Chain A
């Protein structure tokens, strides 16, 4: 399932990039991220606890930064497994310099397996909602950080 969207972040592109490039900052904005432990260059072990209503699961897995072209393009790959199944996702962010603001074009390719497939009709909506939460959080951080 492919989802995509655009967002505007209220900070110049180099600041946005700096934030994206900080795994812990990134982790703090990722909905449900409980642990992010580096295991190698650009590789992490992650524990995510995601709850959509009653559908709550703790996903253990890997996060890998697969592309990093400062300050333009950033791609991550996430895999997680829980009792309900597995999630694999590839996300790409492209930053566009808009002066004091930064435009973000993002897209994601989400794959689920196990019992989660039974909820496939809701996955794009949920993924978009989580992406929205992520960007809101980033934007808040960027605005808080600015004088």
Chain B
């Protein structure tokens, strides 16, 4: 019997060792003679460094090294690399390894201490004296854009790093002939990923072999290796970067570089001993990248039947103190805003602005929640204004299933045209509405109301660009034991690649998925690739795995054909065997085929293209794929305490071909939970001096199992035509529409107050204020 592996709910290969405490996270790496590092960080948001005196720290008996900017080699005194340049990014300011003369956000590294223990290193860091001259902090985004109250980077004479415009059609003309024009100011505030494992780096230098080994909790080990090789003047082959088990990533664990990724190897090379640095939670809140703050002035123009004539959004994007990651987040935001709707005329314009806050880079969703929030809110308000049903206004504007590929008319984050590959938007909405029994909602709502309960229904639609290039690669090797080894360049942070990629191979080679061993995130095993981001691993690496596995399959058939004296067309692969179709007794094990493919004597036929049952393949998609979905939820609001409770949460999700529904559901659940967190619980609150007031788990409220509801997932499968497995990205869909949905549900629950929710995240205090204002207005 052949087992179908692809699409089956296979439990994960990686779990047993994680469950018994045998995972290997960076902090679990222990090496003989290992030292521990601590980063001394700026307590000020904006200040000039007048003096740094490290003498007392150096006198500490357990201290081996103290570094300040002045102690760095010349190549590390320059700003760190510009990751993703863009022609509109005029001032591509990037962070320093250690601050030279000025600090620009709380948490910016100022000095680096290496001692025999973390405890001692923290003691010594306190002995470093730094004199700061505090400068006015640039905190408010709109003030910042106007150059107030100071310049984050004086030399450029502005806080605006980039100004960028994209246009489709002619918005002004559309506006002129519209029956309804509706304009609002929308605010999305800062949030952060907060993976349970903070960042960490361990480095070991072998001076004889001139080999640098770095364990790094990164989502992109290969670029880190390449960058380190360049910085330290080493061959790429002499640097090995391992991203072992990574305890959650969600975006911010990709940088090149976080300063510590450079400082730890530098210290290991200077001292000739292994060095470990583990970020603590307090550091994490200020030293690991954030996301989200954008202020949109958005406008929608419609005819009286609710057809969208045009949309305009002019927005500010808070980049934080530096902008290493370029314009990815605002570009994704403006490209996600149109969503599943036909928008003939669209004007998107943004300014990316420096502030004295932690650097911004993509966090799960990466601009998409913002775009969806603005678009869905505009539609909700327009429907209200037109007296139209909120589902109906969406139906009237959906791109239809026959219109794919659909060219939105914009240029996406990968510099390719924004062309949707496939999808079925109307069907997804209808499924969601059916699941929550939308037609009967008015009666249901009235019934709650009669019980004195305020329950609202919300839903929101989105399209998620995912699975972008440039490429990923994979090597599949069948060993004589019959076990299959798969090496790929993408790292994994819990998404189950050890299983889903193994399934792709198991499907192609007819072996048990447990016999497929996947290695990810070790440049020693596979050295080409870019990283795990933008919901691309399963799509791009998965496709490369598929191509490599198919190549191995072809070769197995060729080799087995000669062993079995049969024609390759008459053979099949199943149960770890190659056998003659219809004559199962004539078979050889895949292991035997592997052995035969690597003979000690004789001749290798040229069509084998070399020895062994092995193939390496790359997949480079022409452009990204586009998943989509609809979320719907019932939310109960207690207007007296301004608190929420989710009664139901339904997700209709379409990410093309499903590789493993168990893993896919897990991705969706986790995304929804982060979406709920970012909509109502988690807030990064800054005071006027740029201090983060909510920088601990006591005040940054990640929702717990009590706040997160049961999540019902409904799958729709519209395969992508852009890759051989038909897959689309699934990592971010869970998070994207949640703020839009929560806003709509609260407005629905309190519809007599006629609230307009134009800001995310909300929290009880903000909701209280909205309710108070509305009540005052009403009375």
Assess A/B contact in the complex (Cβ within 8 A).
yes
* CB interface residues, B 247-301, toward A, < 8 Å: 282
Other-chain residue from B687, B692, B695 in contact with A1 (beta carbon distance below 8 A): B687
Whether A85 contacts B43 in the complex (CB less than 8 A), given A117-B695, A118-B695, comes out as yes
Q: Could you say which residues of chain A place their CB within 8 Å of the CB of B106?
A: 113
Q: Interface of chain B, helix or strand or loop or mixed?
A: loop
CB of A113 within 8 A of CB of B126, answer no
* CB interface residues, B 667-693, toward A, < 8 Å: 687, 689, 691-693
A83 closest partner in B (C-beta): B126
B45 closest partner in A (C-beta): A113
**Does B179 lie at the interface of the complex (its beta carbon under 8 Å from any beta carbon of A)?**
no
Q: Could you say which residues of chain A place their CB within 8 Å of the CB of B693?
A: 117, 120
CB of A111 within 8 A of CB of B687, answer yes
Among B43, B44, B696, the most chain A Cβ lie within 10 Å of the Cβ of B43
CB of A111 within 8 A of CB of B689, answer yes
B134 closest partner in A (C-beta): A88
Whether A113 contacts B44 in the complex (CB less than 8 A), given A1-B687, A120-B693, comes out as yes
* CB interface residues, B 59-79, toward A, < 8 Å: none
Among B689, B693, B699, the most chain A Cβ lie within 10 Å of the Cβ of B693
**Does A18 lie at the interface of the complex (its beta carbon under 8 Å from any beta carbon of B)?**
no
**Does A125 lie at the interface of the complex (its beta carbon under 8 Å from any beta carbon of B)?**
no
Q: How far is the CB of A107 from the nearest CB of chain B, in Å?
A: 16
Whether A118 contacts B698 in the complex (CB less than 8 A), given A1-B687, A111-B689, A112-B691, comes out as yes
Q: How far is the CB of B134 from the nearest CB of chain A, in Å?
A: 8
- Determine the distance from Cα of A118 to Cα of B691 in the docked complex, in whole angstroms: 10
CB of A118 within 8 A of CB of B696, answer yes
Q: How far is the CB of B623 from the nearest CB of chain A, in Å?
A: 44
**Does A115 lie at the interface of the complex (its beta carbon under 8 Å from any beta carbon of B)?**
yes
Q: How far is the CB of B204 from the nearest CB of chain A, in Å?
A: 32
- Determine the distance from Cα of A22 to Cα of B693 in the docked complex, in whole angstroms: 36
Q: Could you say which residues of chain B place their CB within 8 Å of the CB of A88?
A: 134
**Does A5 lie at the interface of the complex (its beta carbon under 8 Å from any beta carbon of B)?**
no
Convert A96-124 into 0s and 1s, putting 1 for each residue whose CB lies closer than 8 angstroms to a CB of B.
00000000000000011111011011000
Q: Could you say which residues of chain B place their CB within 8 Å of the CB of A114?
A: 43
- Determine the distance from Cα of A114 to Cα of B132 in the docked complex, in whole angstroms: 14
Whether A86 contacts B43 in the complex (CB less than 8 A), given A118-B695, A120-B693, comes out as yes
Whether A113 contacts B689 in the complex (CB less than 8 A), given A83-B126, A85-B43, comes out as yes
B686 closest partner in A (C-beta): A117
Q: Could you say which residues of chain B place their CB within 8 Å of the CB of A85?
A: 43
CB of B126 within 8 A of CB of A117, answer no
- Determine the distance from Cα of A118 to Cα of B43 in the docked complex, in whole angstroms: 13
B42 closest partner in A (C-beta): A113
Q: How far is the CB of A121 from the nearest CB of chain B, in Å?
A: 8
Report A's interface with B, CB cutoff 8 A.
1, 83, 85-86, 88, 111-115, 117-118, 120-121
29 A–B contacts, CB within 8 A, in A order: A1-B687, A83-B126, A85-B43, A86-B43, A88-B134, A111-B687, A111-B689, A111-B691, A112-B691, A113-B43, A113-B44, A113-B106, A113-B689, A113-B691, A114-B43, A115-B282, A117-B691, A117-B692, A117-B693, A117-B695, A118-B282, A118-B695, A118-B696, A118-B698, A118-B699, A120-B687, A120-B691, A120-B693, A121-B699
User: Given A115-B282, A118-B699, A120-B693, 14 other A-B contacts at CB below 8 A?
Assistant: A1-B687, A86-B43, A88-B134, A111-B687, A113-B44, A113-B106, A113-B689, A114-B43, A117-B692, A117-B693, A118-B282, A118-B696, A120-B691, A121-B699
